[in-house]
């Protein structure tokens, strides 16, 4: 790579933090999911607890349909990917929604298929939080330098201005919810329009704040669709939700504890973030159930400065089990159908 190209890449990113991870694995038993799911209440009140630590995350199972070895693609001479602003006409939401899609440098949908990372925003944004937090600049730099493997990033807007109530804010899972939109509309649309891996090993989902609730709820309920999940300052404590008891746990929404054990899980929050208590409560429940996870507590509050400082860490975790080069298209790849049930 030429010096001029490296300077071009470095000009896009001012700070690329590369902090390490810590993990935990342990055990507990939770009742099955009940008929009532929580509704969003918003963030308030401080929280504090100690940093969890423990063992490493589990390995993923072999990919289905990966019957063609991936020859190394030609050296990519393009230092930047593409940020596409698309729209999806959603029957679940009853409106058209903006979807930002990042395609990696030298994306070639005719020859290769790519893992997909779905990233959900917090409730303070309608669209663009992850881009504002530096995701495209960091992805451009690190993919072009082969620090990150090439993958697609999908960042849907929120339906905060919905005329008949926001599915993002006013639902909590199941049919007709934000989960329904992501699982049964967004994922199939992305799989159809772009050259993606169409199996769980090639999908990850993460979110900030209220988006962190959704990423965890969706992955816990649909572990057949996603292999990796992250909750970044996730708003999951009972005090932030409506219609739940004080002992509410995200594990009560899981398909099963055994299914959760198949996921790679990342949790983090700032040491002065009001969501810290709920994050560490879930970490303790996962540990009690012998579910392996990765957790981190950093300096910061519930704001974009905290998350933007850690985008590099997030991308490293999500992509750590994906191959270093794009995977050649498989002869057996097909579209996966998933029906959401209550």
Give pLDDT tens digits for 183-232. 999 999 999 999 999 999 999 999 999 999 999 999 999 999 999 999 99
Question: Which residues are CB-contacts of 2 (< 8 A; sequence separation ≥ 6)?
Answer: none
CATH numbers and ranges of domains, the chain = 3-58+76-328 (3.40.50.1820)
pLDDT in tens, 307-327: 999 999 999 999 999 999 889
Question: Both tokens of residue 156?
Answer: 């849907």
Whether the Cβ atoms of residue 123 and residue 169 lie closer than 8 Å to each other: yes
User: Distance between CA atoms of 141 and 208, rounded to whole angstroms?
Assistant: 22
Burial 139-166 (b: 16+ CB within 10 A, else e): bbbbbbeebbbbbbbbbbbbbeebeeeb
User: Distance between CA atoms of 50 and 66, rounded to whole angstroms?
Assistant: 42
pLDDT in tens, 145-174: 999 999 999 999 998 887 678 888 887 788
Considering only residues 58 and 29, tell me which one the structure prediction assigns the higher pLDDT.
58
Whether the Cβ atoms of residue 322 and residue 117 lie closer than 8 Å to each other: no
Average pLDDT over residues 78-86: 92
Phi first, then psi, for residue 237 (nearest 5°) are -70, 150
User: Distance between CA atoms of 130 and 308, rounded to whole angstroms?
Assistant: 8
Question: Both tokens of residue 134?
Answer: 């530096």
User: Distance between CA atoms of 226 and 228, rounded to whole angstroms?
Assistant: 6
Reply yes or no on whether the pLDDT at 298 is more than 60.
yes
Helix (H) or strand (E) holding 305: helix 304-308
Question: Which residues are CB-contacts of 14 (< 8 A; sequence separation ≥ 6)?
Answer: none
Strands 264-270 and 82-90: unpaired
pTM of the entire predicted model: 0.80
Reply yes or no on whether the pLDDT at 27 is more than 80.
no
Among 73-82, 138-147, 271-280, the minimum mean pLDDT is found in: 73-82
- What pLDDT does 72 receive? 52
Phi first, then psi, for residue 143 (nearest 5°) are -70, -40
Helix (H) or strand (E) holding 144: helix 135-144
3-class SS of residue 272: coil
């Amino acid at each position: 790579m030429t010096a001029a190209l490296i300077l071009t890449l470095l000009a896009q990113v001012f700070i690329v933090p590369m902090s390490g991870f810590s993990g935990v694995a342990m055990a507990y038993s939770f009742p099955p999911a009940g008929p009532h799911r929580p509704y969003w209440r918003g963030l308030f009140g401080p929280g504090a607890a100690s940093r969890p630590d423990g063992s490493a995350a589990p390995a993923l199972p072999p990919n289905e349909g990966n019957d063609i070895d991936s020859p190394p693609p030609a050296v990519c001479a393009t230092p930047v990917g593409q940020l596409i602003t698309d729209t999806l006409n959603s029957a679940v939401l009853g409106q058209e929604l903006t979807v930002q899609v990042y395609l990696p440098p030298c994306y070639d949908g005719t020859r290769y298929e790519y893992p997909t990372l779905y990233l959900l925003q917090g409730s303070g944004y309608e669209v663009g939080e992850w881009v504002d937090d530096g995701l495209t600049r960091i992805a451009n730099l690190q993919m072009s330098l082969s620090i990150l493997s090439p993958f697609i990033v999908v960042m849907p807007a929120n339906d905060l201005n919905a005329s008949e109530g926001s599915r993002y804010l006013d639902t909590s899972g199941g049919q007709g919810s934000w989960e329904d939109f992501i699982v049964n509309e967004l994922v199939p649309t992305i799989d159809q329009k772009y050259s993606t891996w169409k199996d769980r090993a090639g999908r990850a989902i993460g979110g900030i704040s209220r988006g962190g609730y959704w990423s965890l709820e969706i992955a816990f309920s649909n572990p057949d669709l996603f292999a990796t999940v992250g909750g970044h300052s996730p708003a999951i404590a009972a005090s932030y939700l409506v219609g739940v008891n004080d002992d509410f746990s995200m594990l009560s929404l899981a398909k099963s504890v055994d299914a959760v054990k198949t996921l790679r899980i990342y949790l983090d929050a700032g040491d002065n973030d009001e969501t810290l208590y709920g994050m560490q409560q879930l970490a303790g429940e996962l540990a009690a159930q012998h579910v392996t996870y990765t957790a981190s507590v950093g300096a910061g509050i519930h704001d974009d400065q905290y998350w933007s400082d850690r985008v590099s860490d997030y991308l490293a975790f999500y992509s750590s089990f994906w191959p270093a080069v794009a995977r050649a298209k498989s002869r057996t790849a097909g579209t996966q159908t998933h029906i959401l049930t209550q």
